Amino acid sequence: MPKLKTNKSVAKRFKLTGKGKIKRKRANLRHILTSKGTKRKRTLGQISYVSDADAPKVKRMLPYG
């Protein structure tokens, strides 16, 4: 079997947890922050998980976790 190539852009954006879930960062926290509420910005700063529907696609691009 040949080696599988890791998609490097995906490797920079996602990390696998110990249980196999995929961690991700939330969008919309880069600029124009004055128009966004404090609670919204605080929530956007927290880590989220990839949905169950999209997880197989991301795992395929991260073959070695």
Q: What is the pLDDT of residues 15-46, one digit of tens each?
A: 999 999 999 999 999 999 999 999 999 999 99
- In a domain, residue 1? The reply is no
Question: How far apart are alpha carbons 45 and 36 in whole angstroms?
Answer: 13
The CATH number of residue 28's host domain is 4.10.410.60
- In a domain, residue 32? The reply is yes
First-to-final CA distance of the chain:
18
Query: 61: which 2 tokens?
Result: 């691009």
Q: How many domains does one find in the chain?
A: 1
Question: How far apart are alpha carbons 15 and 17 in whole angstroms?
Answer: 7
Range of the domain at 27: 8-61
- pLDDT tens digits, one per residue of 51-60: 999 999 999 9
The total of other beta-carbon atoms located within 10 Å of residue 58's CB is 17
Question: How far apart are alpha carbons 41 and 32 in whole angstroms?
Answer: 11
- In a domain, residue 3? The reply is no
